[in-house]
């Protein structure tokens, strides 16, 4: 098994852990920059099937985070105009960028069916999760 497959399996496990242990984390997944292209491709995720497997930079919450390099907490997705709906039941969302050696290589994206589900504690927690995930991209 190669290093990429092992990493994918670990990311899938992280998605499951987060999804199964936090009741308002209803969709948990990773998006990654597609090489040098200005687009994100979906990685491992847990939750409802989504057809949004490729997202151009700038588009939706995910695409905006790819450009801003900043956390994006959306208390009410219906109030966002640059938003890509994956499911009609989603009410709020958080996207936290994933930095490896200071470079934004992707992000963790979490959707909730609860309105205004995410706070600063989720931001700090998911920043920590991403710091651990980043090690999977640097360790030999
Ligand atoms: N809502 C995201 C798209 C990804 S789905 O939530 C899985 C966005 O607006 O970028």
What tokens were used for 76? Answer: 């009410």
- Residues paired with 30 in a beta bridge: 108
Q: Would you put residue 35 in left (φ > 0), alpha (ψ -120 to 50) or beta?
A: left
Largest CA distance in the chain: 44
| CATH 3.30.450.40 is the classification of domain 3-138 | yes
Walk along the chain (140 residues) and give the pLDDT tens digit of each residue.
788 899 999 999 999 999 999 999 999 999 999 999 999 999 999 999 999 999 999 999 999 999 999 999 999 999 999 999 989 999 999 999 999 999 999 999 999 999 999 999 999 999 999 999 999 999 75
Name the residue at shortest CA distance from atom 1 of ligand 1: 84
120 Cα: distance to centroid of ligand 1 (angstroms): 20
How far apart CA 36 and CA 39 sit, in angstroms, is 8
- Report the nearest atom of ligand 1 relative to the CA of 86: 5
* Domain locations in the chain as residue ranges: 3-138
pTM more than 0.95: yes
């Amino acid at each position: 098994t190669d290093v990429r497959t092992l990493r994918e399996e670990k990311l899938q496990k992280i998605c499951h852990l987060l999804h199964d242990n936090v009741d308002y984390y209803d969709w948990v997944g990773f998006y990654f920059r597609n090489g040098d292209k200005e687009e994100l491709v979906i990685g491992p995720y847990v939750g409802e099937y989504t057809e949004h497997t490729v997202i151009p930079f700038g588009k939706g919450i995910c695409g905006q985070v790819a450009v801003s390099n900043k956390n994006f907490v959306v208390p009410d997705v219906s109030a966002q105009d640059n938003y890509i709906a994956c499911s009609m039941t989603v009410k709020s969302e958080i996207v936290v960028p994933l930095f490896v050696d200071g470079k934004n290589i992707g992000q963790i994206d979490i959707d909730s069916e609860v309105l205004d589900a995410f706070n600063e504690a989720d931001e700090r927690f998911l920043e920590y999760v991403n710091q651990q995930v980043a090690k999977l991209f640097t360790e030999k």
